[in-house]
Amino acid sequence: MHITNPDLVAIKTAIRHLASRVEAEVSEAEHWSSLAGNRGVGDVSATLDSVAETLRNAHADLDAAARLLFDAQEQQSSQAHDHPHQH
């Protein structure tokens, strides 16, 4: 029997939503960086490229958090299976 911790489910949902929003922001930053570069404002373009890179790193961190959460859920489920009468 698989035991699901509602708090972990809520955290997983929040991570998924955050990752989606961050991914959209990466696209926005890249778009505006490109436009700024095409309009001759290279400093603005470079700054927006830096923002996009920071957001990509944040997205990678969210992916890592999701993997860690999955591992935690598996461990809790395994422990609950090994000790079914403990809460």
Residue 40 lies in a domain: yes
Tell whether 86 is covered by a domain: no
Q: How many domains does the chain have?
A: 1
Q: What's the pLDDT band for 31 if we cut at 50, 70, 90? A: very high
Alpha helices in 1-87 (DSSP H): 6-38, 42-82
Domain membership of residue 84 (yes or no) is no
12 close to 69: Cβ distance less than 8 angstroms: yes
Domain that holds residue 29: 6-75
pTM: 0.81
Asked if 1 contacts 81 with a C-beta cutoff of 8 angstroms, the reply is yes
Question: Is 14 within the bounds of a domain?
Answer: yes
Q: Inform me whether the pLDDT recorded for 1 exceeds 70.
A: no
**Spatial separation of the C-alpha atoms in residues 41 and 47, rounded to whole Å:** 10
Asked whether residue 51 is assigned to any structural domain, the reply reads yes
Tell me if 39 is assigned to some domain.
yes
Least confident of 9-13, 29-33, 53-57, 59-63: 9-13
Specify whether the CB–CB gap between 15 and 58 falls below 8 A.
Answer: no
Mean pLDDT of 60-71: 96
Mean pLDDT, residues 56-81: 91
C-alpha–C-alpha distance, residues 17 and 19, integer Å: 5
Q: What is the pLDDT of residue 86?
A: 53
Residue 13 lies in a domain: yes
What per-residue confidence (pLDDT) applies to 80? Answer: 73
In a domain, 64, yes or no: yes
